[in-house]
Amino acid sequence: MTGSKTIDIARIRADTPFCEQRIHLHNSGSSLMPLPVFDATRQHLERDYRMGGYEAAAAARDDIAMFYDESARMFGCDSSEIAFMENATAAWNAVFYGFARTLRAGDRILTANAEYASNYIAYLQIARQTGCDIVAVPDDAAGQIDVRVLESMIDERVKLISITHVPTNGGLVNPAAAVGAVARRHRIPYLLDACQSAGQMPLDVDGIGCDAMSMTGRKYLRGPRGTGILYVRESAMDQLPPATLDLWGASWTSAGCFELQAGARRYENFENNVAGQVGLGVALRYANDLGLDTIFDRIRQLGTYVRGRLSRIDGVTVRDKGRVQCGIVTFTHDRVDATTIREGMAAAGINVGTSGAASTRLDMEQRGIDVLVRCALHYFNTEAELDTFCERLAELVS
């Protein structure tokens, strides 16, 4: 990861031509690919078309290697600790469900109050099967996971700490490194869902202290859909066995035996989206070359700017929590519902999203919110676009 520098917004937007046709503020759903990413993905599909899939993959050996190298560069790890996955859920599941086989009645999973629905549903499924307990650590006064309370909850029953870094329903950035320090002190496996933080901010796995981290390609990394990344610390791989195996993740060494592939590729499947992997490698390099510190500085500045603008619109309440806030900006209006706002923005050529209670139920129910508008900014957005968004919003709710 490189230090902070200035982003050439004109060049970036030239690499993102369709951002001139619509204002895209839905980057926590799926961002816009830069041209180099689109070109690399398309060129590999053309290779598939002309050569055949196996032959095309063999010809793309260096492009595939770049994915692992650029992932290692971004996350401060060894390339052998990286697996290419079909999405973030598959990456998270590959570790969680393998580990879950060790859980017994009375064991505890500690998680965050703003945990994502897919993860919490998995906890509930395993709790039904094993009798383990799921415990959500309360928030502190700022609305992030309370690390002091987390520490006080550690005992022999706690077998896993698993949290979402940036929740789907707001700008909160949970203190992942502080959680990691607790996990390391007590030698408890730590799984981090970085689906909405990867590509938005620096993620150094040694600084965070996680044993595994799951990510998607389609959001802030600006990669193709149908791509994901899994990091697993080499020293934790025996504690975190793959949930499933095939002839890629392991070798069938004799009639009654198999041997796991070395490194994190044991979590992969033989069949995968090679064009997506090639494109994601280019997306990782694109972000690395800009610098994650630089990207996060830009995104946070835009977030602060639009929160200020939104707070001056009659009836709007900004709903973001946390001591550190990112580029996901959420709000409600006291008279106009979130779905109407989203549809009105779409009609005006502006992409925003919504987030409902079912996605982060514990947090949303605690705050009494059913659904909110989610406006997710990226470094290619501009203050002028945000001004237009706020002007259209003020007209819509007036």
Q: Which domain holds residue 213?
A: 37-289
Amino acid identity, residue 273? Answer: N
The answer to whether position 137 is within a domain reads yes
Which token pair is 348? 């005006």
131 band by pLDDT with thresholds 50, 70 and 90: very high
Rg (CA), the chain: 21
Q: Which pLDDT score is estimated for 1?
A: 39
Q: Which pLDDT score is estimated for 3?
A: 47
5 band by pLDDT with thresholds 50, 70 and 90: confident
170 and 240 assigned to the same domain:
yes
207 and 152 assigned to the same domain:
yes
Q: How far apart are CA 336 and CA 350, in angstroms?
A: 17
Last residue in a domain, options 261, 289, 317: 289
Percentage of the chain beyond pLDDT 90 is 98
| Domain total in the chain | 2
- Mean pLDDT for the chain? 97
Question: What CATH number should be reported for the domain holding residue 388?
Answer: 3.90.1150.10
Start-to-end C-alpha separation, the chain:
45
Say if CB 219 and CB 28 are below 8 A apart: yes
Q: How far apart are CA 300 and CA 96, in angstroms?
A: 31
341 and 224 assigned to the same domain:
no
375 band by pLDDT with thresholds 50, 70 and 90: very high
pLDDT per residue as tens digits for the range 176-186: 999 999 999 99
Say if CB 291 and CB 3 are below 8 A apart: yes
Q: Which pLDDT score is estimated for 4?
A: 57
CB-count exposure of residue 152 (10 Å: 0-12, 13-18, 19+): exposed
- What mean pLDDT comes out for the span 69-80? 98
76 and 128 assigned to the same domain:
yes
The answer to whether position 2 is within a domain reads no
Question: What CATH number should be reported for the domain holding residue 66?
Answer: 3.40.640.10
254 and 150 assigned to the same domain:
yes
Side-chain-side CA neighbours of residue 188 (13 Å): 27
284 and 345 assigned to the same domain:
no
- What mean pLDDT comes out for the span 192-206? 98
- Which distant-in-sequence residues (6+ apart) come within 8 Å of 167 by Cβ? 112, 114, 115, 116, 174, 196, 360, 363
pLDDT per residue as tens digits for the range 300-337: 999 999 999 999 999 999 999 999 999 999 999 999 99
Which residues are registered as beta bridge partners of 375?
329
Q: How far apart are CA 320 and CA 143, in angstroms?
A: 9
Coil, helix or strand for 217? coil
Last residue in a domain, options 289, 308, 327: 289
194 and 264 assigned to the same domain:
yes
Q: Is the pLDDT of residue 2 over 50?
A: no
By C-alpha distance, which of 130, 104, 115 is closest to 161? 115
Q: Which pLDDT score is estimated for 393?
A: 98
The answer to whether position 4 is within a domain reads no
- What mean pLDDT comes out for the span 201-226? 98
Q: How far apart are CA 230 and CA 89, in angstroms?
A: 10
263 and 356 assigned to the same domain:
no
pLDDT per residue as tens digits for the range 75-116: 999 999 999 999 999 999 999 999 999 999 999 999 999 999
Q: Is the pLDDT of residue 352 over 80?
A: yes
119 and 62 assigned to the same domain:
yes
Q: Scanning the structure block, which residue is given the tokens 């937007």?
A: 13
Last residue in a domain, options 269, 289, 309: 289
The answer to whether position 212 is within a domain reads yes
What angle is formed at CA 340 by the lines to CA 338 and CA 345, rounded to 5 degrees?
Answer: 95
